[in-house]
Chain A
Amino acid sequence: MKEPSSHHDPSGLTAARGSDRVVGRLFSHDHKIIGIEYLALSLIAVAAGMALSLLMRIHIVWPLAKLPILGQTLPEDYLAWVTMHGTIMVFFVLTTAPQSALGNYLLPLQIGAREMAFPWLNLAGFWTTALSFLVMMAAFFVPGGAPISGWSQYTPMSAIPAPGDALGMDLWIVSIGIFCIASVMGSINFIVTPLRSRARGMSLMRMPLTVWSWMVTAVLTALSFSVLFGAAIMLLCDRHFGTNFFVPGGLVLSGKLIDHHGGSPLLWQHLFWFFGHPEVYIAILPGMGTVSTILSTFSRRPVFGYRAMVYATVAIGFLGFLVWGHHMFVSGMNIYAVDAFSAVTLVIAVPSSVKTVNWLGTMWGGRLRLTTPMLFAIGFVSFFISGGVTGPLLAEPELNQYLHGTYFVVSHFHLIMAMASGFGIFAATYYWFPKMFGRMMNETLGRIHFVITFLGAYAIFLPMYVLGLAAHPRRYAQLFGSADYLQPLLPIQKFITIAAFITAAAQLIFLWNFFWSLRHGKTAGENPWQATTLEWSTASPPVPGNFLELPVIYRGAYEFAPANDPDFHPQWLAEEAEK
Chain B
Amino acid sequence: MPAVKTPFPSRVSAPDSGGRGTDHKIPTGGGGDGDWKPHRGRRGPRERLMRYRMGLGVMMVSSLMLFASVASAFFIRKDSFVFDQLTQGYINDWHPVAIPSLLWWNTLMLVLSSIALEFARRQYFREDVVMDEWLGLARPTIRRALPWEAISLVLASGFVIGQLVAWRELYQQGIFFGSSASSHFYFLLTALHGVHLLGGMVVLLWAILGTLVGRSIESRQITVDVTAWYWHAITLVWFGVFALLKYCQ
Contacts and interface: CB of A to CB of B under 8 A. Distances in A.
A406 B92 CA distance: 36
Contacts of A120: 15-16
A270 B31 CA distance: 49
Instruction: Tell which of A201, A226, A248 has the most Cβ of chain B within 10 Å.
Output: A226
Query: Which of under 10, 10 to 19, 20 to 34, or 35 or more describes the interface residues of A?
Result: 35 or more
A271 to B, nearest CB: 6
Given A200-B35, A226-B69, A267-B73, A8 B62 contact: no
B134 interface: no
B55 to A, nearest CB: 5
Contact of A437 (B5, B63, B93): B5
Contacts of A108: 19
Interface string B31-45: 110111000000000
Nearest to A32: B6
A201 B36 contact: yes
Interface stretch (B78-86, B118-126, B153-161): B78-86
A386 to B, nearest CB: 34
A196 interface: yes
Contacts of A249: 82-83, 85
Contact of B55 (A12, A188, A243): A188
Given A16-B8, A243-B178, A544 B70 contact: no
A189 B19 CA distance: 11
A561 B192 CA distance: 56
A557 B18 CA distance: 23
A466 interface: no
Contacts of A437: 2-3, 5
A463 interface: no
A562 interface: no
A285 B4 CA distance: 27
B242 interface: no
Contacts of B19: 108, 113-117, 193, 197
Contacts of A519: 2
Interface string A23-39: 01100111011001000
Nearest to B181: A262
B20 A197 contact: yes
B51 interface: yes
Given A113-B19, A187-B58, A196-B51, A233 B26 contact: no
Contact of B77 (A241, A267, A543, A545): A267
A10 B69 CA distance: 49
A255 interface: no
Contacts of A550: 21, 23, 34
Interface residues of B, number: 60
B188 interface: yes
A264 B54 contact: no
B232 interface: no
B4 A36 contact: yes
A429 B232 CA distance: 44
A438 B66 CA distance: 43
A454 B80 CA distance: 49
Contacts of A436: 5-6
B13 A200 contact: no
A305 interface: no
Interface in B152-190: 176-178, 181, 184, 188
A248 B55 CA distance: 40
B82 A248 contact: yes
B54 A192 contact: yes
A130 interface: no
A541 B7 CA distance: 9
Given A195-B54, A241-B177, A243-B177, A226 B65 contact: yes
Interface in A501-530: 518-519
A496 B154 CA distance: 66
B135 interface: no
The 4 A-B pairs at the shortest CB distance, nearest first, are namely A242-B178, A113-B19, A200-B36, A1-B32
6 contacts: A4-B23, A196-B18, A222-B58, A223-B62, A227-B65, A518-B3
Interface of B: 2-13, 15-23, 26, 29, 31-32, 34-36, 47, 50-51, 54-55, 58-59, 61-63, 65-70, 72-73, 76-77, 80, 82-83, 85, 93, 176-178, 181, 184, 188, 192
